[in-house]
Amino acid sequence: MKTATLAAVVLALAVAPAFAAKPCEELKAEIAKQLDDKHVAGYTLEIVPADQNVDAPAQVVGSCDGGKNKIIYTRK
């Protein structure tokens, strides 16, 4: 169930290019609210530069500040 929720969040962000222009803190808060509304627990969201490599098990779940940064999701 939690994997499906994360997949839905990732898909929603991938198909909505308007999110790319959002400030990172605003987008991070929106993603956190979606996850919290789905009762997902034990995760972190982190803002990192867009050119930073993301190692497993972290997943990119959003792009912000006009593509300069990205938001990564990691299960605790």
- Domain locations in the chain? 2-75
- Please compute the mean of the pLDDT values over residues 45-67 and round it to a whole number: 94
C-alpha 18 chain-centroid distance: 14
How far apart, in whole angstroms, are the C-alpha atoms of residue 45 and residue 18? 20
pTM for this predicted structure: 0.72
Q: Band of the pLDDT at 15, cuts 50, 70, 90?
A: low
Q: Where are the beta strands (DSSP E) in the chain?
A: 43-49, 59-64, 69-75
Angle, alpha carbons 38-41-47 (nearest 5°)? 95
